Amino acid sequence: MLGALRTLRAQGYPNLDVIAVDNASTDTSGELLRRRLPEDRVVTMERNQGFGRAVVAALRATEDEDIDYVLLVHDDMALMPDAVQWLVGAMEEDPSLAIVGPKLREWADDPLLQQVGMSADAFGRAEDRLDADELDQGQHDSRGDVLWVSSAGMLLRRDALATLGGFDSRFDQFRDDMDLCWRAWVTGRRVAVVPSAVGYHLAASAHHVKGRRSPEEARYRIERHTLASMLKNYSGRRLAWVLPLGALIDVLRILGLVLSRRFAEGFAMVRAYLWNLAQLPATLRRRRAVQAARRQPDSRLSSLFTPGLPRLRRYGESIMELASGDSTQALVDADDVTVARVDPLADQPVQRFLRDRPLVLLGIPLLLAFLVSLSGFLGEGQLVGGEISPWPEDATAFLQSYLSPWGGEPLASASFPSPVQAVLGILSTLLGSAWLAQRVLVFGLIPLAFVVTLRAGRLVTSRPWPRVIGAAVYVTSPVVLGSLGEGRYGVAVVSTLLPGIVSLVIRATDPSTNRGVAWRSTALLSLAVLLALGSAPVEGLLAPAVVLVGMVVALLRGWIRPLLRLAVGGASAVVMLAPWLFDVIRDGGPSGGTLATDGGPPAILGLPLWQAIVGQPRIVDGLDGALGWTMLAIPGAILLGALVVGMRARPLITGALVLLVVTSGAAGWAASFYRLPLVWPPALLLPGAVALAVLAMIVARWSTETLLASDFGAGQVGTGVAAMGIAVGLVAGIVLLAGGPWIELRQDPQLLPAFIGADVDQLGEYRVLLLDRAEDGTVRWEVTGAQGPTMVSFGTIRNESLTRLLDTTVTQAVAGVGDSPGAVLGLLNVRYVVLLAPDAEIQASLAGQRALEPLPSTAAVAYRVSSWLPRASVVPDPAASQLLASGLPSFGNRTAEGALVHVGPGEYSGGTGGATDGLLVLSEADSGSWRAADAGGELERVELPPVTAFRVDNSAEDRFRVVAAGGLRRRAVVAVQLLVALGVISLALRPPGRREDDEPVATMPTELVGLADTTTVIPRIDPNAPPPGTTDGSTRGGAR
């Protein structure tokens, strides 16, 4: 405050009188004012009523005085000696100006800009249009119109202030100045910044030191006053779209604050809306006054607002920085520093552009090749192939299945599904369209793998070219492309995340990593392990294996804190996965995919040792010809470069990476040679693919130094050959990508004839059995719902007993053993049997099944199961007694008196239309989880393996309800999973660490030191001399 008073006294403008308001201060500032100013120049308020009311009190003390201008100065503001003269001069020069303000600098020796006038986005969020830590070099010294200027230093015409009604008395702090200036513009007046007038502002309120106001209280007032200003000052037409869209953005902001554990700030935003709701009558009265005085439409004022959504743009820039890894310290390239030197390409902009932007030269061709490969999949219809099935039209089907105590259609069980199912549901809901969700969540894995590898490469070097080359090597490797090309969605997820998992483990383990970054890495690692292992429980074991290696290293090095971090990250992932993993181990592997889409157990691939070692398995079309041999240039060149470049520059790391390549290849070959069950052998080559990508980065990083070595020799020749080999191999990889390596993926194939699903609305859900002849001559089978396969089954666990029974039944049916298999299919709710391709041998065997009725169709070879039972129905006696005796429904069964309606996952409801004796048969696995009841109570369970049945007697009511028990347990487990997931996400968004708020500078800037010395003679400015740039030196009245 003392600085503010002394700089006011030092002003060169003569007609300046100071009135101070002591707004119920609790420190010594009130006493200081009374010592420095005459008694009638200090207004003392009994309680703090806010800045606006303080201004009113000051003006009342001068009602009888002839005053043209009012100068408002905060107590943490110091004006340069000529500031007021510049401000008054601008007013005198332009009568249309109602409010002007100075250029504000930070309270520091460096001329850091704080404000040069202010703007706002469409939702009233303040924007200063300055770069971070921007120095004042005169770049903003042109006077111009602005939306608002800070009340820390503001000159107003007194008559304009009176006409506008002054500050909103409800705004005690923050955004009162924006509201006043906005009203000035709406009513036809102008607001401008005068950069020649300079002020130094401590911004004590923004630093939370004035009045000890907390950040939460500051946010509360900013949010509530911003919303109130919008409600008052926008026209109805503009408000109609700004208000709901702004509310939606605020909901997302509140969610982000809650997820980052900033609960007080999130609640502050909720309080701001509640305040505005309570104040709505008063706000509407003020709005009517503003709109009645409106002289400018909103369209005329649009140039004063920041176009677009600048905050979203900044969020996007932060995401891009995170993706590129600009904030990560390179560990391998320890000498990676920028050295000031003369740029040899300074006068060659095109060459310099290509050198500095490798994504243009290599990333764009990769992207174009990728888009070309998708040209056949961008039309209408769903993708099908391998584990990839059609997405449900309603994305909430994922979440309903996840929450249900009985899920995993069409062969459901009480087992927990993978948490990945919930993730798919959440992401699909956010994306909206099933078409878009499937394309993004399937094909988006390839560009995501590129970005993840690019980001992980920042641990090797900060230089862009090596990282782009390494990322390109990884995403064009046959293992990565082939995993998605064969429709192995789980392995594709693992291949996408594995480079990031390696990077996160290293950052979480490295003791030199910043504490906050290390904990954020730990949280992201937990989520990555969750997704990898939850998508592929066998191949996904690569993720916890990497974590385990990190823990071993930390333990051997004695790094206790990194060890604890990795333990916390691993444990949180295990907690979220535990219910599913337990059921996977107990009940068998998860389901996913259909026979029609090449599902079933992983095929055993003949993988030669040499292909495994170099990471080039022949699992993608085109690799058997010249293109495949050309692709070999990549691993060959990288290994050569590792020998002549890597072993010289970073021998230890290079040697370890080469060993990993060989070990990974040997593991993949062994899995193929010994026919290990459940594992897809090429997936074991993924660690080698990551190692080759890192080796490519090392070779690219140090190849220039090797080529420029003083003595020409084998090293230079080997380096040149390696560079050319990598280039040729990458071109081949781009060609391979453009050719479309998606060998098993098809768009909207006719999996089931249209008539197969035509009865579902009338009869309810039923199962369809698909049969096909495999290449090895065996018959493969799969069961789907009436509408065909769906991705909702991904990550679920099929009922083991039903699966075994169906396998035995299909084996007997295609072998022509007896005629009971058809009846068994009817008991299991299989209504149709479909041959995907005509097969005379299979057709001859099925013809012997009395329960299978051939259907005349040109679309497919199909049969209707005559003994079919609805999913849940009442079978009356005597058919019920025959069913209990034989375990099979009668051929030509027409005994289902009343089919129950499938209300939701794990729930059926309906009736028979009258009392009857018989059985309530549920074609779900025989499980104690099922309960059936009528109005009289629970029904008695009877044994009818492998399905579930209940006794219905003549006294039973005609309405039944069948539910799977365990819903409360399932919801409790999901709640725990959700809490852990939210905790991990919160840790990633806001890791622990010391809060580093900028401390305000306590001493005055150098330019103002003289003004703080009462003995210093301050040079006065001639009041009769006009400021530079003005033409009239006269002034009217004074300023207070």
SS3 content of the chain, % helix, strand, coil (to 5): 50, 15, 35
CA pair distance 502, 542, nearest whole angstrom: 10
Interacting residues of 549 by C-beta distance below 8 A, sequence separation 6+: 505
Read off the pLDDT band of 594 (50, 70, 90): very low
pLDDT at 833 over 50: yes
When pLDDT is cut at 50, 70 and 90, the band that residue 316 belongs to is low
Average pLDDT over residues 790-796: 89
Domain spans, the chain: 2-311, 754-865, 872-965
Q: Check residue 897 and give its pLDDT.
A: 52
Q: What is the pLDDT of residue 173?
A: 84
Give the pLDDT band of residue 372 (cuts 50, 70, 90): very high
User: Do 483 and 465 form a contact (C-beta atoms < 8 A)?
Assistant: no
Output the pLDDT for position 91. 93
Provide the pLDDT confidence category of residue 1025 given band limits of 50, 70 and 90: very low
**pLDDT, position 1016:** 34
Q: Is the pLDDT assigned to residue 559 strictly greater than 60? A: yes
Cβ atoms within 10 Å of 170's Cβ, excluding its own: 18
| pLDDT score of 472 more than 90 | yes
**Maximum C-alpha span of the chain:** 117
Tell me, what's the pLDDT at 598? 36
Over 50: is that where the pLDDT of 571 sits?
Answer: yes
Write down the pLDDT at residue 344: 61
Q: Are 944 and 882 in contact (CB under 8 A)?
A: no
Give the per-residue pLDDT at 347: 65
Distance CA 718, CA 723 (A): 9
**The CATH number of domain 2-311, selected from 3.30.1360.30, 3.90.550.10, 3.30.499.10, 3.30.420.40:** 3.90.550.10
**Least confident range of 54-63, 443-452, 591-600, 968-977:** 591-600
Query: Count H helices, E strands: the chain?
Result: 38, 28
When pLDDT is cut at 50, 70 and 90, the band that residue 602 belongs to is very low
Taking residues 13-42, report their average pLDDT: 80
What's the number of CA atoms in the CB half-sphere (13 Å) around residue 259? 14
Q: Give the highest mean pLDDT range of 305-314, 328-337, 524-533, 744-753.
A: 524-533
User: Which residues contact residue 607 at a Cβ distance below 8 angstroms, ignoring those fewer than 6 apart?
Assistant: 617, 668, 669, 671, 672, 673, 681, 682
| pTM for the structure as a whole | 0.78
Residue reference for tokens 């009135």: 19
Listing DSSP states for 796-845 in one string gives ----HHHHHHHHHHHHHHHHT--SHHHHHHHHTTEEEEEESS--HHHHHH
> What does the pLDDT read at residue 411?
84
Q: What is the rounded average pLDDT of the residues 624-631?
A: 85
pLDDT digits (tens, 9 = 90+) for 685-733: 999 999 999 999 999 988 877 777 656 777 788 888 998 999 999 999 9
Mean pLDDT, rounded, for 370-393: 89
Q: What are the φ/ψ torsions at residue 835 (nearest 5 degrees)? A: -90, 125
Closest C-alpha among 612, 623, 530 to residue 577: 530
778: part of which helix (H) or strand (E)? none
Spatial CA neighbour of 411 closest among 966, 763, 963, 925: 925
Which pLDDT score is estimated for 333? 60
pLDDT tens-place string over residues 532-548: 999 999 999 999 999 99
The strand pair at 77-79 and 144-145 is best described as unpaired
pLDDT, position 1017 = 35
The residue written with tokens 């993993």 in the block is 581
Q: Cα–Cα distances in Å, from 256 out to 122, 381, 607, 777?
A: 21, 35, 48, 55
Angle at which helix 651-673 crosses helix 633-641, to 10 degrees, equals: 140
Q: Is the pLDDT of residue 42 over 80?
A: yes
pLDDT in tens, 45-54: 888 888 888 8
Place 1023 in a pLDDT band, splitting at 50, 70 and 90: very low
Residues 6+ apart with CB under 8 A from 778: none
pLDDT at 1018 over 80: no
Query: Judging by beta carbons within 10 Å of its beta carbon (0-12, 13-18, 19+), is residue 288 exposed, middle or buried?
Result: exposed
pLDDT tens readout for residues 175-208 = 999 999 999 999 999 999 999 999 988 865 555 4
Which phi and psi (to 5°) does residue 731 adopt?
-60, -45
What DSSP state is assigned to residue 154?
Answer: E
Evaluate if residue 1028 carries a pLDDT over 50. no
Q: What is the pLDDT of residues 99-132, one digit of tens each?
A: 999 999 887 767 888 889 999 988 988 888 787 7
pLDDT > 70? residue 410: yes
**DSSP conformation letters of 849-878:** -TTEEEE--SS-EEEEETT---SEEEEETT
pLDDT, position 23: 79
Average pLDDT over residues 419-446: 93
CA angle 640, 642, 643 (to 5 degrees): 65
Pick the most confident of 35-44, 282-291, 605-614, 999-1008. Answer: 282-291
**What tokens appear for 921 in the block?**
């048969």
Query: Counting every residue, how long is the chain?
Result: 1040
More confident residue, 1013 or 124: 124
Calculate mean pLDDT across residues 468-488: 94
Task: Please check the confidence at residue 763 and state whether its pLDDT lies above 90.
Answer: no
> Higher confidence at residue 428 or residue 599?
428
Mean pLDDT of the chain: 83
pLDDT of residue 1007: 62
Looking at residue 408, its pLDDT comes to 74
> What pLDDT does residue 818 have?
82
pLDDT band at 345 (very low <50, low <70, confident <90, very high): low
**Does position 137 have pLDDT exceeding 70, yes or no?**
yes
* Nearest-angstrom CA–CA distance, 577 and 583: 10
pLDDT at 593: 42
What is the percent of the chain where pLDDT is above 90? 42
Percent of the chain predicted with pLDDT > 70:
85
Q: Between 258 and 179, name the one with better pLDDT.
A: 179
Residue 69: half-sphere exposure toward Cβ, Cα within 13 Å: 30
Range in 2-11, 217-226, 297-306 with the lowest mean pLDDT: 2-11
Q: Which residue has the higher pLDDT, 858 or 15?
A: 15
* Residue 823 to residue 867: CA distance in whole angstroms: 6
